[in-house]
Amino acid sequence: MLIGLFYIIVPLFLIGIIAFKKQPNVWSWVLTIITFGLVIAYLWTTTRWEIVSIYLRPVIPVLYLIACFVGYRRVSKQKLPVNKIVLILSVGIHFVLIVFFSGLNWFSFKGYISPENTIDLASPFKSGKQIVLHGGSSPFINGHYHVKPQNHAVDIVGLNTFGMRASSFAGGADLNNYEIYGEAVYSPCNGTIIDVVDQYDDLIPPNTDKINLAGNYILIESDGLEILLAHLKKGSISVRPGDTVTTNTLLGQVGNTGNTSEPHLHMHVEKGGEPNTILNGEGVPFTIDKEYLVRGNLLEHHQME
């Protein structure tokens, strides 16, 4: 819950300073809106908005622009005496923050660029609304990016009516509080099932299994590539090794097994490594329905008849 509140409080606090702190001159106002704007941009890009509500995300840039206008109107029209030491320190701090957060923003937004030679997959869901929790080609927006087989992995959670992944900020210990839990998972490609694990119990958050990292999973071979769908619900898997699947084949349901802090679907593509095994090949970039997914992207589907 605290991390969810942090995501809201920090941008609003900075926006409040921009709007209501009376700046001594225009240059001070310019430095403030640039510095705070870069901090807000970084938080806007990397924040897990589904914890607090995705509908707050577009509000932040609007509030920032309004605050800039209000703050400019409050700039002092009188020439005030300036303490040179304070001025130098202030400019120095702003400069360091501008350089630092410019770098963070560069590496974060760089992760939005789709790599070359991607393969296209279908969405593993047929109904509901989901959001990408981890995704993209940067460790700032994809926690899997530093692991070679999972360079381009995505983690997906569901969204309720309020744009949250669970019924509360904290989520809680009840798995049914999480919108994605029990959601039907379909094959994202045409291929052959080459490995299935369906033996681990669903864990109660925040418990994790750091030994059986993928928990219950399905591994599909398609055109020489291996597609992994992990953290599935125990007893829900409806396919077996050797089965042929299409994009209309029901595979199982989202669960909370393996090294996961809450229910979500983990999905990635590998090539090379030891055949029919997971987490030892090279990550392959992929799109879903022609879109390279990064943190914050939505997947929306019409309810199946």
pLDDT for 90 equals: 87
Taking only the tens place, the pLDDT of each residue in 124-168 is 999 999 999 999 999 999 999 999 899 999 999 999 999 999 998
At 81, the pLDDT band (50, 70, 90 cuts) reads: low
Q: Rounded to whole angstroms, how far apart are CA atoms 45 and 63?
A: 16
Q: What is the pLDDT at residue 168?
A: 87
Structural domains in the chain, sorted by start = 2-110 (no CATH), 119-300 (2.70.70.10)
The model's confidence at residue 304, banded by pLDDT at 50, 70 and 90, is very low
Res 77: pLDDT = 77
Provide the pLDDT for residue 80.
60
- pLDDT exceeds cutoff 80 at 121: yes
Contact present, 18 and 68 (Cβ < 8 Å)? yes
For residue 33, give the nearest of 7, 8, 57, 61 by alpha carbon: 61
Q: Is the dihedral of CA 230, 232, 235, 239 positive or negative?
A: negative
Percent of the chain with pLDDT over 90: 81
Supply 234's token pair. 């125990």
Percent of the chain with pLDDT over 70: 96
pLDDT of 263 > 80? The answer is yes
For 225, the token pair is: 């590539």
pLDDT above 70 (res 60): yes
Mean pLDDT of 77-103: 85
Residue 260 CA to residue 220 CA, distance in Å, equals 21
Range 246-262 average pLDDT: 97
Distance CA 208, CA 126 (A): 28
Asked whether the beta carbons of 259 and 249 are under 8 A apart, the reply is: no
What pLDDT is stored for residue 169 in this prediction?
83
Q: For 106, how many CA atoms within 13 A lie in the half-sphere containing its CB?
A: 6
Q: What are the tens digits of pLDDT across the range 184-219?
A: 999 999 999 999 999 999 999 999 999 999 999 999
pLDDT at position 256 is 98
pLDDT of residue 217: 98
Q: Give the pLDDT mean for 88-102.
A: 94
SS percent in the chain: helix, strand, coil, step 5: 30, 20, 50
Q: How confident is the model at residue 3 (pLDDT cuts 50, 70, 90)?
A: low
